Amino acid sequence: MDDAATKLSARPLLLVVMGVSGSGKSTLARALAERLELALFEADDFHSAAAVARMRSGLPLTNEWREPWMDALCQHLSRTRASVPRRVLAWSGLQRDHRARILELGEPTLFLHLVGPPALVASRMAAREHFFPASLLDSQYAALDPTAGEANVVELDIGVPVERLCAVAVEHVRMWQPPKAADGC
Ligand SMILES: Nc1ncnc2c1ncn2[C@@H]1O[C@H](COP(=O)(O)OP(=O)(O)O)[C@@H](O)[C@H]1O
Ligand SMILES: O=C(O)[C@H](O)[C@@H](O)[C@H](O)[C@H](O)COP(=O)(O)O
């Protein structure tokens, strides 16, 4: 473990790497999991087969489709909290209400919102294999509630290499003071 990781190793923590599809959530979450020795959770693992088929076919999720996904994700996070108190979640987190549901779990939670030009995200999506088609990217931006000014959210520019992005994220985590209510969790 390096110095930054050692300083952060004592406290419970939920890092949520969020942003539109293709913004680099899984990539950064993997890097943070390794660097800070966190357990990695992928929100994509909690979609129903029908929801995945819907997205694969070129239809976006509606909020009605997102509800059971949120339920499954929150239940899993809640069930595993005691056994895995230090984790990182890759999850789009597009809706403010859904971010509030994650906060309601009561963990010291920092959202890392990956932001960048849609054209850059689209080009990265075009270059990867994934069930989520690039044709749905506009619908992701349409569904995204802005995070500017929201407490416990840091916006990170995706236009840098992953190693740099990870270093910047770690620095934000190191400087972050969890709100008192979640401090002792
Ligand atoms: N900082 C980065 N610089 C260059 N390419 C990146 C970066 N982050 C992610 N990528 C690439 O962009 C694509 C989408 O990243 P991914 O992590 O799958 O996004 P998401 O989980 O948000 O859908 C992948 O091919 C990944 O390798
Ligand atoms: O619309 C949403 O609520 C989510 O954004 C969801 O559709 C997710 O983005 C996909 O599962 C694609 O997965 P990635 O975001 O990991 O590319």
Which amino acids bring their CB within 6 angstroms of ligand 2?
Answer: 21-22, 25-26, 44, 47, 55, 61, 66, 92, 94, 130, 132, 140, 143
pLDDT of residue 105: 97
Q: Which atom of ligand 1 is nearest to the CA of 27?
A: 17
Contact residues of ligand 1, CB 6 A cut-off: 19, 21-27, 90, 124, 127-128, 158, 161-162, 165
Contacts of 48-56 spanning 24+ positions with Cβ under 8 A:
52/131, 55/131, 55/132, 55/133, 55/136, 56/131, 56/132, 56/133
103 near 152, Cβ under 8 Å?
yes
Q: Which residues contact 139 (CB under 8 A, 6 or more apart)?
A: 60
Ligand 2, atom 13, lies closest to the CA of 21
Would the pLDDT of 2 be above 90? no
- Lowest mean pLDDT of 7-11, 71-75, 145-149, name the range: 7-11
Give ipTM to 2 decimals.
0.96
Q: Looking at domain 3-179, does it have CATH number 3.40.50.300?
A: yes
Instruction: Look at residue 176 and tell me whether its pLDDT is greater than 60.
Output: yes
Question: What's the confidence (pLDDT) of residue 7?
Answer: 56
3-state class (DSSP) for residue 16: strand
Express each pLDDT in 136-168 by its tens digit.
999 999 999 999 999 999 999 999 999 999 999
Closest alpha carbon to 113 in 14, 44, 16: 16
Examine the pLDDT at 60 and tell me if it is beyond 60.
yes
Residue 185 pLDDT level (bands cut at 50, 70, 90): very low
Q: Which residue is closest in CA terms to ligand 1's atom 19?
A: 24
Q: What is the DSSP string of 138-149?
A: HHHHHHPPP-TT
Per residue in 90-136, pLDDT (tens digit) is 999 999 999 999 999 999 999 999 999 999 999 999 999 999 999 99
Alpha carbon of 125 to ligand 1 centroid (Å) = 8
